[in-house]
Structure 1
Amino acid sequence: MLIEVVSAGPGCSICQKALKLVKQVAVEFPQIEIRELHVVEQFERLQELNIFSAGAILINGKAEFGSLPSLPKLRDRVFELLN
């Protein structure tokens, strides 16, 4: 499973929180691969997915969270998709 976090860069506190959240869930699910999507580098792709906010989370290429979810929400969604 690939989880991508939309990031505006290392100075973005929301982006860092989203990455931390995804890393916490990845500890429980070793089949997760994490990738950071930089807004500037992935602008066209993000536009196609209608993602306009840093900290958004994609799972397997699909926009799952447009803003920072809670840890239980993310964990539940990952569990759902894996089963």
Structure 2
Amino acid sequence: MLIEVVTAGPGCSICQKAMKAVKQVAAEFPQIEIQELHVVDQFERLQELNIFSAGAILIDGKAEFATLPSLPKLRERVYELLHQ
């Protein structure tokens, strides 16, 4: 499973929180790979997915959260997707 976090840069507190949450969940599920998607570098792709805010989370290429979810919601969604 690939989880991508939309980030705006190192000074973005929402981005840092999103990465922290994803890393916490990834520590529980060894089959997770994490990547950052920088808004500037991935603008066209994010526009196609209707993602317009940093902190958004994509799972296996699909926009799952348009904004930063709570840790329990993220964990629950990852668990659901892994056990389908």
The one-letter code matched in structure 2 to 1:30 is P
The one-letter code matched in structure 1 to 2:78 is V
The alignment of Structure 1 onto Structure 2 pairs a total of residues equal to: 83
Alignment pair present for 1:60 and 2:60: yes
The one-letter code matched in structure 2 to 1:15 is C
- Show the counterpart of 2:49: 49
Q: Whole-Å Cα distance in 1 between the matches of residues 67 and 41 of structure 2?
A: 20
Deviations 1:29-52 (A, max 9, x none): 010000000000000000000000
| Structure 2: gaps spanning 5 or more residues | none
TM-score under structure 2 length normalisation: 0.98
TM-score under structure 1 length normalisation: 0.99
The one-letter code matched in structure 2 to 1:52 is F
* Partner-residue secondary structure (3-state), 1:23: helix
- Show the counterpart of 1:21: 21
| Structure 1: gaps spanning 5 or more residues | none
Q: Percent identity?
A: 86
Aligned Cα root-mean-square deviation (Å): 0.3
